Structure 1
């Protein structure tokens, strides 16, 4: 059909028009299939699309003009120059976004003539002590909270993480843990926790029932009937918090919406883990803060999510997010689509990273990047400018390692480090980033590679299980022959 259509158009139009027009239709078809119909585009089709574009560009050159190698390099240099300039602007906007977001409580307090809110970037988190809603007797109201933590194996420093939740300065809360296997290695840790903190209601749910391909969401759904309170506070199993965590969350919690938290690394043994830690505060968090400043976020982070049972039921319960890889992202998205608020807390929790190999680091980052690409393709594409160090180096290289190229590379690299310090260290209180700031440029080169690799391949691995990414970020389990 395509061939005869080509001949038909060629019968009434010049070849110089037909070839570019046909190529344009082909490219639009591929992009439409990928980003609108959510079809899986394999590597060969992407390669074919690139070759079609490149071939048409060569054909469309004037007859008296040829594309020399020097001309090609010049065009590439300009391309990376534009991306480098965009990166520099993005870093400045990130600093402004962080200052605006975290400084807002002090400005409001000063305008009201009140003492500034207590903000401390210490080991346990970034704490904020705003007023709570008043109860009937004029005192502060502390609503009871159910903390849900799905488990799959014992994480690094697991006991210390869970003990931080048992030490909350809060009148009424319970902790519900859940596993999908009665032989899970995390069960002895919870048994010890129950013995050491008898004053805290701690439950352990063991159930292999599944409501979808995402095992974490299935575990959460199995835990839900044991949650006795209306407000649910869901945390990843590697999260550690300070004693005023629940108070701070409940103070900001929108009863008819969702609240989520930024996070930073609390421990990161080994260089690959430190590379991941630096990326959290200097790459991930700035993007979130820019989105927040641009009009608010429409996604959530599994590190910490507060939601009421009523709101959860409104979006379809856990079953609505069970088919997806990025379940936290989808939960926030569904809440926002329901017309309810998605709020970003100023409380920063800590994630305790285990020791990673370089391979493990790349696999984890690739899973994350592919999940973002599937759920928010334009967001993933735009995240390219976060890797300014790598982009400015490519500009430097394609400028023939000129002095001006070196100046651009050095300037953008310095701006990148300044942004990492202002956002990650100053505002998020990241001690690991503070002591490993020079890993940020190295992280940028890894991130550029991972960003590119995320466009190819649909397989992701999570805690020993392999899945295939489908349309709209949905996943299907994939059996691996051994």
Structure 2
């Protein structure tokens, strides 16, 4: 085919300019559609929070003619924080009729042993015991710590619950009530108890807004989202995968627990009660390190999140929305950005109250300050997670690899 060399299309560079314009408009359309999609995520999370969370114990799902299954509760412990005693005591006072408590401590000198022993003496009628020493079955220190308790667990259901979790007296009944015939795992959405201090407000705002929004939406559409803070599982399903020691090569064992269960056709379900985190230690650097560590784990396990996650954050998405609406509709970008922030903040306030199931313990002004701090620092935490390959967790330093596998760089605790 002959080309006209004297065509003004080529002579004036219109072809290159046209390509650039089409590219810019393509990005504008993408960001506008993504922006609209995120508002749908807001709506789904808010509706799902009302539908799924903070209901009365769902005893209708439990057949009164069928005996309730026994539950082995595994509590991995490392060190002591100011709330440890009261948090652990809530498990001793559970009204569930058939359970055992298995406390796991790695070191014989760990002060948590004294806390557990005091509770064992206070509640001699509760089926509970302490496992000391752990067993080296992989890289993950939590798995190593829990392995002896898991091996000796005698009930058909296993609840892995972090040390900082506080339980209501009917929480275990609530979780078991969602363990239907085709359900292999019941998890609790992470949230936090009311505590004093600005750092505590930031944590509550994060878990009740940004985290809750993605967590609830993922649960609604059936995406693997359980965390290991509080997860009830069928022991036979874990045993079929080789037991928890088969997951010792990962740091994010909770994700792979759920994956191994759903890959075999079993469903997962969310409990109507959130997991009430109540650690006695609360500071901003510790919170940010925790969020950064989770981001690194997500990047390693699900690499596509590297591309999508920044645009789910309020500030970055607001900039993209201002750009796209300017290109497509000639709207004022500053007005669009500010309105975006305002509406996002208001919706987050109502989502937080829905997850809280009532009023929060701080003012709207404190909420706005904590919300702004969380949203403005989120991009920096993402960048830090993206360019830092190592991860500090408990007493060890690790290097993550694609697929979630982990390599220990500098072990500090002999097992």
TM-score by length of 2: 0.84
SS at match of 1:233: strand
- Answering whether residue 405 of structure 2 is matched by residue 474 of structure 1, we say yes
- Structure 2 regions of 5+ residues with no counterpart? 1-9
CA distance in 1, matches of 2:363, 2:180: 33
- Answering whether residue 214 of structure 2 is matched by residue 291 of structure 1, we say no
- 1:448 is matched with 379
CA distance in 1, matches of 2:262, 2:227: 14
8 Å CA contact 1:91, 1:415 repeated in 2: no
8 Å CA contact 2:31, 2:321 repeated in 1: no
Match of 2:315 among 380, 389, 411: 389
Q: Pick closer, same or farther for the CA change 1:77–1:332 going to 2, 3 Å.
A: same
- Answering whether residue 364 of structure 2 is matched by residue 437 of structure 1, we say no
- The CA deviation at 1:156 is 4.1
420-429 or 463-472: bigger deviation: 420-429
- 1:13 is matched with none
- 1:133 is matched with 62
- The CA deviation at 1:83 is 4.1
- Answering whether residue 51 of structure 2 is matched by residue 103 of structure 1, we say yes
- The CA deviation at 1:78 is 9.3
384-393 or 436-445: bigger deviation: 384-393
241-250 or 345-354: bigger deviation: 345-354
> Equivalent residues in 2 for 1:301-380 (5 A)?
301-380=227-306
CA distance in 2, matches of 1:368, 1:268: 23
CA distance in 2, matches of 1:213, 1:255: 33
- Answering whether residue 360 of structure 2 is matched by residue 412 of structure 1, we say no
Aligned residues: 394
CA distance in 1, matches of 2:144, 2:196: 31
Cα RMSD between the aligned structures?
3.4
- Structure 1 regions of 5+ residues with no counterpart? 1-60, 105-118
- Answering whether residue 193 of structure 2 is matched by residue 263 of structure 1, we say no
CA distance in 2, matches of 1:480, 1:166: 34
- 1:68-123: CA deviation from partner (whole Å, max 9, x where unpaired): 9xxx9xx999968964763453134332344146427xxxxxxxxxxxxxx7x5xx
TM-score by length of 1: 0.73
8 Å CA contact 1:133, 1:141 repeated in 2: no
Q: Pick closer, same or farther for the CA change 1:413–1:230 going to 2, 3 Å.
A: same
Q: Pick closer, same or farther for the CA change 1:289–1:330 going to 2, 3 Å.
A: same
CA distance in 2, matches of 1:150, 1:480: 19
SS at match of 2:126: coil
- 1:218 is matched with 144
Q: Pick closer, same or farther for the CA change 1:63–1:403 going to 2, 3 Å.
A: closer
- 1:459 is matched with 390
